[in-house]
Structure 1
């Protein structure tokens, strides 16, 4: 998990073995943290230790979907990789004890899953999501490991129904501090700006964009992922410091 805020943030991503995973229809526990579905809200209880500086990360996040997406989209012809926008629009309440952080607002919940590691199937991708007046726009594009491009441009209405839309023109964004390439889609004649970069890592960036989509000025959440970078031996040697493996 990653938390970013004006008074600081937190990072925790610990790998744990299968013996530390417990699940049933409404619950999923991984180590000391857990997710549960109470009928209308996803409750995420977090009890982790940050890395590389070890300090406690404790709190609860509640995600209440305003719509449920029922479709998972294949990202490659063999459907080895799928993406599911579970809650394209949601209300989110964050109540953290460590660090002391509380807020609520509009949110989003999705899932990537598949039959092989992401770095086996892809070289890079760029993704963004923006709440429009009536719909939610999601733009997804990248290159598969074979070199073939892929892209999705979707709108979700307030009932969770989706439909394809023509993607706006591609616009290059400034590289990150780690020189990761970034790109997005925006209306003709508009000039997207990176308002804030929350995560700037050797192979990944998550940012806020001020842009225009489908005739509306919006604040979009954007990410760029370089799996070519991720595969490099140098980056792989760095991962245990940010993604430790625990046996408890």
Structure 2
């Protein structure tokens, strides 16, 4: 992959880099955010001109057999580009694109809100080309690109004694306005199968969903027709609507395990017979509620800088 893109610099804008891995009994998620979607301070401050570089964050979560083991969410007032634009540093953590295409994510943090030290790394070796960048909703300035839809992955969590290999995934979202202002939310899921990875991105308001398919024949990105009948959903304890089943095409993989559940966001996972599904549901309008912003403080560490 090429050097990292320019970081956003206008109020309400954002860019984040997401990666996940399924490795044996473990799964993990790494997110580097400039203009943090989890930041109550950024949400409240945009009307006063808050800038994305003033609200950067690192998120890391480790799961074992569908249960969370560690949660990191640390917010910083700065980030920096390094290595001729190939690396992004937030606090002590680093996202780096090597010239050979390898992606390395290193987290050196403490659990939120004031917990134990966590040191974790993820190395991705992409097995397929990146997808093209896509505007999620016509007329709105929000974009998504699957950078490494299917990758050989090595996960190490030194603080927990975890070393495991498996399949990884990497993408990036960016936008020029605050999420929830006009784009209320989305839900998406990626499915690793034995030979192919498929990512389905569902959007509100009757917008056609997006599908990325990545395998031996390359990577394809396309708009899909809306389903004639909506698939069943269920409500979390917070009242957030999530899929009742996770699918690989028309195959039911299973009832989703709630890896994370909050009033505005859920992370779900299911595995069966060589199929692995991980996805997210987000309602950004909910996050901008003052009460929910207040709750978000308790899952975040705020650092003064490096």
Counterpart selection for 1:55 from 116, 122, 125: 116
Deviations 1:156-211 (A, max 9, x none): 23354204355665312322232210137758975563242211122111111358
What's the counterpart of residue 230 of structure 2? 170
Aligned to 1:108: 169
Q: Can you give the 5+ residue segments of structure 1 that lack an aligned partner in the other structure?
A: none
| Cα distance in structure 1, aligned partners of 2:249 and 2:106 | 43
In structure 1, what is the equivalent of residue 44 of structure 2? none
Match of 1:223 in 2: 280
- Give yes or no for the alignment of 1:96 onto 2:160: no
For residues 205-244 of structure 1, the aligned pairs below 5 Å read 205-209=266-270, 218-244=275-301
Aligned to 1:153: 211
Q: What is the rounded CA distance, in whole Å, between the counterparts of 2:133 and 2:262 in structure 1?
A: 28
Contact 1:178–1:201, Cα closer than 8 Å, also in 2 = yes
Q: Distance in 1 between matches of 2:95 and 2:275?
A: 31
Shift of 1:217: 8.1
Residue 136 of structure 1 corresponds to 197
Report the Cα distance in structure 1 between the residues aligned to 2:173 and 2:61, rounded to whole angstroms: 17
Structure 1 segment 67-106 matched on structure 2, within 5 A = 67-106=128-167
Contact between 1:88 and 1:160, CA under 8 Å: does it hold in 2? no
Q: Taking structure 1 as the reference length, what is the TM-score of the superposition?
A: 0.84
> Does the 8 Å CA contact 1:67/1:90 hold for their aligned counterparts?
yes
Q: Classify 1:170/1:219 alpha carbon distance in 2 versus 1 (closer, same or farther; 3 Å).
A: farther
Tell me the CA shift for residue 236 of structure 1: 0.6
In 2, distance between residues paired with 1:230 and 1:27?
Answer: 30
Alignment of 1:2-81 (within 5 A): 2-6=61-65, 9-18=69-78, 20-23=79-82, 24-38=84-98, 39-81=100-142
Whose strand fraction is larger, Structure 1's or Structure 2's?
Answer: 1
Partner Cα separation in structure 2 for residue 167 and residue 217 of structure 1: 27
Normalised TM-score (structure 2): 0.69
Q: 1:170–1:121: structure 2 CA closer, same or farther, 3 Å change rule? A: same
**Structure 2 CA distance, aligned partners of 1:130 and 1:34?**
27
Matching residue of 2:47: none
**Equivalenced residues, count:** 240
| 2:185 aligns with one of 124, 146, 150 | 124
- Which position in structure 1 is the counterpart of 2:304? 247
Check whether the contact 1:2–1:9 (CA below 8 A) recurs between aligned residues: yes
Deviations 1:25-83 (A, max 9, x none): 22111111112223232111211111124211112211111113141110122351000
Q: CA 1:134–1:178 in 2, change beyond 3 Å: closer, same or farther?
A: same
Aligned-partner SS, 2:255: strand
Asked if the contact 1:22–1:30 (Cα under 8 Å) also holds between the matched residues in 2, the reply is no
The 3 A distance-change label for structure 1 pair 208 and 104 is same
Residue matched to 2:39: none
